[in-house]
Copies of this chain bind each other. A is one copy, B any other.
Amino acid sequence: MSRIDAIYPTDRITLREVGLRDGLQLARAIPSTRAKIGWMKRETQAGVRHYEIGSFLPAARFPQFADIEAMLDAGERLDIHSAGLTLNERGAETALRTGLHEMVCVISATDEHSQANMRRSRKSAVELVGKIVTMRDNDAPDKIVNAGIAMAFGCSIAGEVSHDEVIRLAETCLAAGADIVGIADTVGYAGPKQVGALCARIEKLCAGRAFIIHLHDTRGMGIANAAAALDNGARVIDASLGGLGGCPFAPGATGNVVFEDIVYLAETMGYRTGIDLAGLKAARAIAEEAMPGERFHGTLNRAGPPPNISWKASRAI
């Protein structure tokens, strides 16, 4: 089994907690390092194993990620799989010297968003993936490189994005040596038909290797889109506790898909997540206390799972 298959197998589903990265990007109240570690620890106890723990970006501009080394240490103690955003060579250099497991590169599906988000062309963003792969090969061959395609379902700046274009970009990233690609509905434009259709094509492209679907619930479609993704080969889903999250360059793009609700969805669909909902509730309480004034989403957290029914009989993968 290759390294990537061991981390993201295709014979079960993996939920990636991105709240500690995407969820803090726009946060008004930045939680303390202690609270972030407490949240991650409790969520790990609930069964979550994969985390985006921060970004390798200048601490002066992104104080919410200044403690990434402490988060990495905590992640190592908790024995989780840690991913971090590396948006430039300098960030990648830093990341390569740490115990981080996964370097996340972002490529925008449109040049317009690429310039606004990363001040580089789309072409340059793809080239950066290749450079980071080479750096990784030389310095830390155990790390994996994840190439996420932002705005894959429509762009808040440029509008429509064709599936052909996204497939071409994903293909280029894989050719450049990325271990896994992801497609992101960064601004929550898509409905389940769009997500299902693009996932089916990405699955075919990845030919037996997992890919990541990253959804925002901006227009209420998050769970429906996750269901469509699962129905069309997606086995790795990004989500955040309470649906925290957004993108500073995508106005109105508040809220990743709610982690708790994704767990419930998966269970009703017959996928076993191994994640304990009561434990997630406890982790959410830690995050909520640490981020006063922040809006947490999701109704499952309030209602709880049904006390007198189970989906054990549901279709397994």
The chain B residue sitting closest to A191, CB to CB, is: B268
A207-228 interface bits toward B, Cβ cutoff 8 Å, 1 = contact, 0 = none: 0000000000111110110111
Contacts of A304 in B (CB 8 A): 252
A268 and B300 contacting across the interface, CB-CB below 8 Å? no
Known: A192-B227, A192-B268. A306 touches B220 (CB 8 A): no
**A189: CB under 8 A from chain B?**
yes
A308 and B159 contacting across the interface, CB-CB below 8 Å? yes
Contacts of A223 in B (CB 8 A): 220-221, 223-224
Q: Give residues 186-214 of A contacting B (CB, 8 Å).
A: 187-194
B264 and A191 contacting across the interface, CB-CB below 8 Å? yes
A283-317 interface bits toward B, Cβ cutoff 8 Å, 1 = contact, 0 = none: 00000000000000111101111101101001100
What's the least CB distance linking A137 to chain B, in Å? 39
**29 A-B residue pairings within 8 Å (CB atoms):** A154-B306, A154-B308, A154-B309, A158-B308, A188-B299, A188-B303, A189-B306, A190-B268, A191-B269, A191-B314, A192-B227, A192-B268, A193-B268, A193-B269, A193-B270, A193-B315, A217-B299, A218-B303, A219-B299, A219-B300, A219-B305, A219-B306, A220-B223, A220-B260, A220-B298, A224-B226, A224-B227, A227-B228, A255-B299
